[in-house]
Amino acid sequence: MVGNHAETLRRAIETLINAKLHDALSPGGIDRLAAHRRTGVASYDIRMAERRLEQAIGEVLSPVESMAGVGDDE
């Protein structure tokens, strides 16, 4: 289970890095990445990679959150 979560996170992080590198290496890419840091506006590929990473983090944290309530009988 932990190995599966680690692999999912690794792939999501790698996808985001690849999307940003691909964008940075294209003409005007550094300016776009700087604008993304200032304004939050990014290319479609970067937005999708960020969303995928957020989903992966959510999948990893959801079992932890559900386990937090175990044994809390009131």
pTM across the whole model: 0.73
- How far apart CA 2 and CA 36 sit, in angstroms, is 33
The ranges assigned to domains in the chain are: 2-61
Element (H, E) at 30: helix 29-39
pLDDT > 70? residue 19: yes
Per-residue confidence at 72, pLDDT binned at 50, 70, 90? low
What single-letter DSSP state applies at residue 1?
A: -
Q: What is the pLDDT of residues 21-71, one digit of tens each?
A: 999 999 988 888 888 889 988 889 999 999 999 999 998 888 665 555 555
